[in-house]
């Protein structure tokens, strides 16, 4: 045997560079279902099921192309770690070399590098060609800048790729349509919400769902609503469905939340993109084609393309530039434990209850639910960033460390002190009230800062401002927030501090 090509669960890319030089007569593919990948964080059942089903389907696809696939499955080989599966295969097959695309998790890369070393087998790590930009491109763009801003990176990539450009100018004359994309649903709520596309479970998926439900019975979440694409064909269907039915209205309400609407007009493509079932280039091309055909307006097209061509590429660049420091980052030196209701949804705070429940039901929450509900609470409730990072990595079907860590530690928790965000994302219950119907029927009242009915989101927000007054005052983006705090009397501020201390001392009881 010549090369052993190791394919990880989030590398299901038929166009991957590992196949460029693949020789069916001399090379083999190895795929390992390692238990540790579901237990190093306490993974949601749907997340594990998605990875396993998609991996098994991909292995079938490769076999149909006459490749030899050594597939080490849970329930048969039962490898505890990727290292166990790789070591056993090196011993049995004695390959001359291992080939691997760079993993999206530094822990995994270190583990596999060490395993190859211990087994005295050379390892070749290839660049991941799935992305539009390389780690080197990003490093060069970032240079020695202390702060990094997505907006400038995004404009650079638009210019280089020509996406939504009229010559050297942005299509429509503006780079950014965010201001048109922050609408709430108003009191009457969302209208004509599109149905989610349904993906029937085939034999492989059914087997995986029952394996996961028995092997990981105690893990959070459920597979009862499992409806994620597990093959490239399904992912392409999901993409077409989004372009036809949701993208035309994606923009305006992308920040809005409603108790009966888990998905709204969102793309639901992150898991397919992150498993590499589809490529960002083809997603962007379809969205741009819909705009050019006059099927969608520019605000929706730009608002969506910015997420993939801008945020997704930028976040990956940040992970490979700052990953090690992000893992330890704790700008505010927060030390609180994660309240237990993050795993159960059993809290009286309606906003948190709904977002956690939805997460447990589907392994999904949209960006603003992650950023401004579960994330924002983490900052003002002074939760240790690493506890919340582990939670995010565990509970979402699209969670892989390269994308989860910068979003959580960097964007939601400001744990790196604003390396790529200009201010902490914090707001009072008034924001939640405006953008959702969560406050209707909540035990707490969003505009009450202390005393009976005080809303924890509101109290902890004012307390946070009070504690970090100087920082907020010195930042032009947040100076206005401080003016509102300074309008309160000394007694009112003391009441807020006392109420917040009571809450912070018993977050589990909220
Ligand atoms: P849409 O909202 O419809 O957006 C379209 C696509 O844009 C997404 O599919 C995604 O690929 C991309 N995208 C949008 N925002 C981001 C972003 N900030 N970073 C990277 N890609 C983005 N995304 C993940 O893919 N995996 C994660 O583990 C993850 N963790 C997050 C944790 C926190 C605290 C926050 C605030 C955000 C996180 N995100 C993560 C980003 C974003 O919330 C999800 O990509 C998005 O909600 C997925 O749903 P969708 O496909 O319907 O996306
Ligand atoms: Fe959340 Fe406060 Fe609104 Fe309740 S009142 S839903 S806790 S913001």
Backbone angles phi, psi at 165, to 5 degrees: -120, 145
Please say whether the beta carbons of 112 and 34 come within 8 A. Answer: no
State phi, psi for 455 to the nearest 5 degrees: -80, 125
What distance in angstroms lies between residue 41's CA and the mean position of ligand 2's atoms?
29
Provide the terminal-to-terminal Cα distance of the chain, rounded to the nearest Å. Answer: 60
pLDDT per residue as tens digits for the range 429-469: 999 999 999 999 899 999 999 998 999 999 999 999 999 99
69-72 and 97-101 beta bridge pairing: unpaired
| Whole-number Cα distances in Å, 345 to 54, 367, 500 | 28, 18, 21
Q: Residue 61 has which token pair?
A: 């696809």
Kindly give, in sequence order, each residue whose CB lies less than 8 Å from that of residue 407, ignoring residues fewer than 6 positions away.
315, 370, 392
The first and second tokens of residue 466, run together, are: 């009070």
Residue 354 φ then ψ, to 5°: -65, -45
Bridge partners for 5 per DSSP: 29, 99
Which pLDDT does position 299 carry in this prediction? 87
Q: Which of 407, 416, 421 has the most ligand 1 atoms within 8 A of CB, as the residue to mutate?
A: 407
* Ligand 2 atom at minimum distance from 458 CA: 2
Q: Identify the pLDDT of residue 178.
A: 76
- Per-residue pLDDT tens for 241-285? 999 999 988 878 889 999 999 999 999 999 999 999 999 999 999
Phi, psi of 298 (to 5 degrees): -70, -35
Q: How far is CA 33 from CA 7, 48, 225, 269, 498, in A?
A: 11, 10, 23, 23, 50
Which pLDDT score, from 0 to 100, does residue 250 have?
A: 84
pLDDT, one tens digit per residue, over 82-101 is 999 999 999 999 999 999 99
List CB contacts of 14: < 8 A, sequence separation 6 or more: 61, 232
The three-class DSSP label of residue 249 is helix
Instruction: Report how far apart, in Å, the C-alpha atoms of 127 and of each of 84, 124, 135 are.
Output: 24, 10, 9
From ligand 2's centre to the CA of 438, what distance in Å? 6
Q: What is the pLDDT of residue 340?
A: 97
Nearest ligand for residue 454 CA: 2
Q: Alpha-carbon distance 328 to 108, whole Å? A: 18
- Residue 409: which of 426, 395, 396, 421 has the closest Cα? 421
pLDDT of residue 75: 87
Q: How far is CA 110 from CA 139, 197, 250, 260, in A?
A: 21, 38, 39, 43
Query: Alpha-carbon distance 352 to 1, whole Å?
Result: 54
Entry pTM: 0.97
Q: Which ligand is nearest to the CA of 441?
A: 2
> 């010559």: which residue's tokens?
167
Q: How far apart are CA 141 and CA 163, in angstroms?
A: 19
* Ligand 2 centre distance from Cα of residue 357 (Å): 15
- Which regions of the chain are under pLDDT 50? none
436 DSSP 8-state letter = -
The confidence score (pLDDT) of residue 254 equals 86
Closest to 44 (Cα-Cα) out of 218, 221, 270, 226: 221
Among 380, 394, 389, which Cα is nearest to 343's? 394
226/218 Cα distance (integer angstroms): 17
Q: What is the mean pLDDT of the chain?
A: 95
The residue whose CB lies within 8 Å of the most ligand 1 atoms, and thus the one to mutate among 367, 374, 399, is: 367
Question: Under 8 Å CB-to-CB from 465, ≥6 apart: which residues?
Answer: 426, 472, 481, 482, 485
């Amino acid at each position: 045997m010549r090369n052993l090509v190791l394919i990880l669960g989030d590398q299901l890319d038929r166009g991957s560079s590992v196949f460029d030089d693949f020789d069916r007569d001399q090379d083999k593919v190895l795929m390992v279902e390692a238990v540790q990948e579901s237990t190093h964080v306490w993974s949601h059942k749907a997340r594990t099921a998605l990875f396993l089903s998609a991996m098994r389907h991909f292995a079938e696809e490769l076999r149909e192309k006459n490749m030899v696939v050594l597939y080490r499955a849970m329930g048969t080989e039962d490898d505890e770690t990727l290292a166990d599966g790789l070591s056993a295969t090196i011993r049995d097959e004695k390959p001359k070399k291992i080939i691997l695309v760079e993993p999206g998790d530094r822990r995994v890369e270190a583990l596999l590098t060490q395993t190859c070393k211990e087994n005295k087998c050379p390892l070749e790590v290839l660049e991941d060609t799935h992305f539009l930009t390389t780690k080197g491109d990003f490093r060069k763009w970032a240079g020695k800048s202390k702060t990094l801003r997505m907006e400038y990176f995004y404009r650079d990539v638009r210019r280089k790729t020509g996406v939504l450009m009229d010559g050297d100018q942005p299509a429509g004359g503006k780079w950014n349509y965010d201001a048109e994309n922050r609408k709430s649903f108003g009191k009457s709520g969302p209208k004509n919400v599109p149905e989610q596309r349904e993906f029937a479970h085939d034999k492989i998926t059914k087997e995986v769902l029952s394996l996961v439900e028995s092997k990981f019975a105690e893990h959070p979440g459920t597979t009862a609503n499992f409806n994620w694409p597990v093959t490239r064909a399904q992912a392409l269907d999901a993409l077409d469905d989004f372009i036809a039915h949701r993208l035309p209205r994606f923009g305006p309400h992308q920040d809005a939340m409603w108790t009966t609407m888990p998905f709204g007009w969102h793309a639901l493509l992150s898991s397919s993109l992150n498993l590499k079932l589809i490529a960002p280039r083809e997603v962007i091309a379809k969205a741009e084609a819909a705009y050019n055909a006059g099927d969608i307006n520019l605000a929706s097209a730009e608002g969506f393309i910015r997420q993939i061509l801008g945020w997704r590429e930028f976040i990956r660049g940040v992970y490979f530039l700052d990953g090690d420091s992000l893992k330890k980052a704790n700008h505010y030196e927060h030390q609180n434990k994660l309240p237990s209701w993050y795993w159960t949804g059993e809290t009286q705070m309606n906003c948190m209850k709904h977002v956690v429940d939805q997460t447990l039901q589907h392994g999904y929450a949209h960006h603003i639910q992650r950023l401004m509900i579960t994330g924002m609470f983490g900052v003002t409730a002074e939760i240790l960033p690493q506890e919340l990072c582990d939670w995010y990595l565990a509970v979402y079907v699209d969670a892989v460390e390269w994308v989860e860590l910068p979003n959580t530690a960097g964007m939601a928790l400001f744990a790196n002190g604003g390396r790529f965000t200009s201010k902490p994302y914090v707001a009072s219950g008034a924001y939640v009230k405006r953008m959702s119907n969560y406050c209707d029927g909540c035990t707490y009242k969003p505009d009450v800062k202390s005393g009976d009915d005080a809303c924890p989101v509101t109290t902890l927000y004012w307390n946070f401002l009070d504690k970090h007054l100087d920082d907020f005052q010195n930042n032009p983006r947040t100076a206005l927030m401080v003016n509102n705090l300074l309008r309160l009397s000394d007694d009112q501020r003391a009441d807020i501090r006392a109420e917040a201390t009571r809450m912070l001392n018993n977050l589990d009881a909220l």
